Amino acid sequence: MKRAAIFDMDGTLFQTQKILATSLEDVFEYLRQQKLWDSITPINQYNEIMGVPLPVVWETLLPQHSYEIREHANAFFHQRLIQNIQLGKGALYSNVIKTFELLLDQDYLIFIASNGQTEYLQSIVNYYKLNQYVTEIFSIQQIESLDKSLLAEMILKKYHLIEGFVVGDRLSDIQSAKKNSLTAIGCRFDFAQEAELAHADFIINDLLEIKSIMK
């Protein structure tokens, strides 16, 4: 019987921190040039909220700015992120490919469910040639309410699956597993917070540790 292996992207499969700071700095330097920002780039603030839907990101980082400016900043940010991915400045976490190969051998279908935008997620999948492993990418853009648990629900319904797990570094990933009766696996990686990981069924420090969790 097929089972679901649902992975978050940022801070779970992809080491976003390698391209985050420089991409965000480009955005805020542009805003400074446009006389729309006059302070340091809020990278620490972004790190604290990493994993929330992008509209929430820009509402948090640019609380006094208009919707149009936030949308423009987001588009500029994604342009820079994708450029940096294509330049090879990012990286997958260790053992992503080995873990994917193991899961396929054990009859799992692999999915990505992320708060990232579709084009950004696809750029990572394309650059690292993950298409051969990943059944489908699901972006929060597909969910009007921005509730990540609905992405997992969408996957289960579309592929007629009832068992599996969700792997992620933030509370939204853990909650998406719990709300869909899946196993919640928390990654103690770069953006993870111990208070959030405490809600997971299992906590891992390397993706290959999933091998000991699989039933």
Report residue 109's pLDDT band, with 50, 70 and 90 as the boundaries.
very high
Q: What is the pLDDT of residues 155-184, one digit of tens each?
A: 999 999 999 999 999 999 999 999 999 999
CA distance 35 to 37: 6
Domain ranges in the chain are 3-15+91-212, 17-86
Mean pLDDT throughout 77-87?
Answer: 95
Q: Find the mean pLDDT for residues 11-34.
A: 94
* pLDDT for the residue 106: 94
Higher pLDDT, 109 or 48: 109
What pLDDT is stored for residue 55 in this prediction?
84
CA distances for 195 relative to 53, 131, 173, 188, angstroms: 20, 33, 14, 11
Contacts of range 174-178, beta carbons closer than 8 Å, 24 or more positions apart: 174/199, 174/200, 175/148, 175/149, 175/199, 176/6, 176/113, 176/148, 176/149, 176/151, 176/152, 177/6, 177/152, 177/201
Q: What is the CATH number of domain 3-15+91-212?
A: 3.40.50.1000
Whether the full predicted model's pTM is greater than 0.75, yes or no, is yes
